[in-house]
Amino acid sequence: EIVLTQSPATLSLSPGERATLSCTASQSVSSNLAWYQQKPGQAPRLLIYDASKRATGIPARFSGSGSGTDFTLTISSLESEDFALYYCQQRSSGPPAYTFGQGTELEIK
């Protein structure tokens, strides 16, 4: 089973700053990686799929990059509504079809 490790666990930044979140896979996942945002009491929301493609309705300040084992989610200029939990997720051909990282909490400094 592929393990995803996210870093840092917590990121403290101010509105307007740039956020860089990392996700490392224990083996290559090619570009089969997605990023989600989750706020308290809500389901995860898909931000990025296939490592770098923005999902429908996602603002351009969110971008994803990487392939193989190392991936990055960048938020170019933080807005107040961006402070939340972020998860990466990979898809495999067989069970488990999806595995998730442990999350990065993006908090207001």
Partner 1 sequence: QVQLQQSGPGLVKPSQTLSLTCVISGDSVSSDRATWNWIRQSPSRGLEWLGRTYYRSKWENDYAASVKSRIIINPDTSKNHFSLQLNSVTPEDTAVYYCARGGVALAGAGLDYWGQGTLVTVSS
Q: Should residue 10 be labelled a site residue for partner 1 when binding is judged by CB under 8 A?
A: no
Q: Find the shortest distance in angstroms from Cβ 85 to partner 1.
A: 10
DSSP code at position 50:
T
Other Cβ atoms less than 10 A from the Cβ of 30: the count is 13
Q: Should residue 7 be labelled a site residue for partner 1 when binding is judged by CB under 8 A?
A: no
48-87 residues in contact with partner 1 (CB under 8 A) are 48-50, 53, 55-56, 87
What Rg value do the Cα atoms of the chain yield, rounded?
13
Q: Find the shortest distance in angstroms from Cβ 87 to partner 1.
A: 6
**Which of 48, 67, 66 has its CA nearest to residue 58?**
48
Q: Which residues share a beta bridge with 79?
A: none
Residue reference for tokens 């051909």? 93
Please report, as ranges, the residues that interact with partner 1 according to CB under 8 A. 31-34, 36, 42-46, 48-50, 53, 55-56, 87, 89-91, 94-100, 102-103
